[in-house]
Amino acid sequence: MSSEVLSYREALKSVREILFANVVMAGEIPAPTGDEWRLTRFLSDRFTESGLDNIANDEAGNVAGVLSGKSATRNLLVAAHLDKIWSQNDDHTVSVGVGEMSGRGVADNSLGIAALASLPLILQTLDIKLESNLILLGTSRSFGRGNIGGMRFFLENSEREIESALCLEGISLGRVSYTSLGMARGEISAVSKRADESADGVVGVLADCVDVLLKIDRRERPAATILVGGINAGSGFNVPPLFGTIRFEIRSESASKVAALEKEIIRTVGGLLSEKDVSVGVEMVAHRNPGRLRPDHELVKSAESTLAELGVETHDEPSISELAALLEQKIPALTLGITEGGHRHSPQESIVLEPIFDGLAQVVSVLNFMDKECPKF
């Protein structure tokens, strides 16, 4: 194992220019959730250049291609989500510096898409020919209201039975996610019933709603957490806002706990309707069921031992992304990070370049294990 995965790391440096070019190209293509078609076309073109079979877009906006295996009796899946949190009108320029790249979405998830696009070349460079079919999948609608809709649609409609899977995320190297948290995501809206500049009740109601969420969070930790992900109201300094929103997320390993807290928040926020000048509503926009592999599952141990050989410390980071849909379908799966980086979901989001080759060597090693061992859920 040691000499093999270390040799992968060194050999993969020969694809540096193509890989980095794919990161830049994927990074500079807008792909807001539900409008990923530009990046879908880019990935489809890369699949065509690599000679993949059965390249297809589906109704959900996913794009898939198949690298046919020698025996072709089993199907492995490697996936990366296409969408970014940024709008089409945001600046998507990727800056290349000494040892790093930066730009909106470069870590989440342009590097993951570039790794997916480059995987056929990576396997060719390492002279690896899998026995299994390898399905490469770019998934749509991962974030926010998308509710991992692309992966859900693919699993519900694919004619190929998936034996095991990997999800690729740009950061962070050493991440081995094998559990998915239960989750409920919602949006609280407050709208003034008055259309004049004296309508100042919206801010107070939003503050009360945040107070409710934070009190529940403090009470429930560590069994559950309430994350306030965004507050938006107003357009300036001198005019009271007529409407505002709060985005929040409930997370727990217990599905019943998530459901109970969701009901409590809806009920408590609903009690604020007594505010005479403001109407308040709660809309739940996404849900996940908890799922997990055992910590001693052979797929988990394969990833951990590979990282140990590379000298990378492993950390378990529960997921609420595409991994959740795979585990829900009882498919052995992991989410792996590819490199180090920072400033996630900011305009200065960044990735470090040199550790990418550790991350790719990790992906290939775990993929080899999946091809040979046929792990069961």
The ranges assigned to domains in the chain are 2-180+290-373, 182-288
Residue 1 has a pLDDT of 46
Residue 337: strand pairing partners: 169
Contact 280, 269 (CB under 8 A): yes
Nearest partner of 146 among 63, 89, 61, judged by Cα:
61
Interval 2-7 mean pLDDT: 84
pLDDT at 197 over 50: yes
Whole-angstrom distance, CA of residue 249 vs CA of residue 372: 39
Q: How many residues does the chain have?
A: 377
Q: Looking at residues 353-373, what average pLDDT do you find?
A: 97
The rounded distance, in Å, linking the Cα atoms of 370 and 365 is 9
Residue 200 confidence (pLDDT): 67
pLDDT bin (cut points 50, 70, 90) of residue 70 is very high
What Å distances lie between residue 23 and 204, 307, 348, CA to CA? 44, 23, 15
Token pair of 320, please? 């609420």
Q: Is the pLDDT of residue 262 over 80?
A: yes
HEC secondary structure over the chain: CHHHHHHHHHHHHHHHHHHHHHHHHHHCCCCECCCCHHHHHHHHHHHHHCCCEEEEECCCCCEEEEECCCCCCCEEEEEEECCECCCCCCCCCCEECCCEEECCCHHHHHHHHHHHHHHHHHHHHCCCCCCCEEEEEEECCCCHHHCCHHHHHHHHHCCCCCCEEEEEEEECCCEEECEECEEEEEEEEEEECCCCCCCCHHHHHHHHHHHHHHHHHHHHCCCEEEEEEEEEECCCCCCCCCEEEEEEEEEECCHHHHHHHHHHHHHHHHHHHHCCCEEEEEEEEEEECCEECCCCCHHHHHHHHHHHHCCCCCECCCECCHHHHHHHCCCCEEEEEEECEECCCCCCCEEECCCHHHHHHHHHHHHHHHHHHCCCC
Residue 317 — very low, low, confident or very high, per pLDDT cuts 50/70/90? confident
Work out whether the CA dihedral 16, 18, 23, 24 comes out positive or negative.
positive
Query: Chain centroid to CA 244: how far?
Result: 27
Q: Tell me how far apart the alpha carbons of residues 129 and 165 are, in angstroms, rounded to a whole number.
A: 17
Beta carbons of 43 and 80 less than 8 angstroms apart: no
Q: In the prediction, which pLDDT does 179 show? A: 97
pLDDT at 194: 78
Mean pLDDT of 214-224: 96
CB distance 267 to 212 below 8 Å: no
* First-to-last C-alpha distance (Å) of the chain: 24
> Looking at domain 2-180+290-373, which CATH architecture does it have?
3-Layer(aba) Sandwich (3.40)
Beta pairing class for 333-339 and 341-342: unpaired
Q: What are phi and psi of 142, to 5 degrees?
A: -85, -45
Instruction: With CA atoms as reference, report the closest residue to 54 among 118, 46, 63, 231.
Output: 63
Q: Is residue 2 scored above 60 in pLDDT? A: no
Task: Give the whole-number percent of the chain exceeding pLDDT 90.
Answer: 87
Q: Nearest-5° angle of CA 222, CA 227, CA 230?
A: 170
Tell me the two tokens of residue 321: 């992304």
Condensed to tens digits (0 to 9), the pLDDT of residues 236-245 reads: 888 888 899 9
d(CA 351, CA 240): 40
328-358 tens-digit pLDDT: 999 999 999 999 999 999 999 999 999 999 9
Among 109-118, 189-198, 301-310, the range scoring the smallest mean pLDDT is 189-198
Among candidate residues 39, 33, 283, 317, the one with its CA nearest the CA of residue 150? 33
**The CA-based dihedral angle spanning residues 46, 48, 53, 54, taken in that order and rounded to the nearest 10 degrees:** 90
- More confident: 375 or 233: 233
Whole-number Å distance between alpha carbons of 209 and 280: 10
CATH classification (class only), 182-288: alpha beta
- pLDDT at residue 72, rounded to an integer: 87
What is the per-residue pLDDT for 279?
87
Of 191-200, 220-229, 259-268, 343-352, the poorest mean pLDDT is in: 191-200
Amino acid 313: pLDDT: 95
Q: Which tens digits make up the pLDDT trace of 13-48? A: 999 999 999 999 999 999 999 999 999 999 999 999
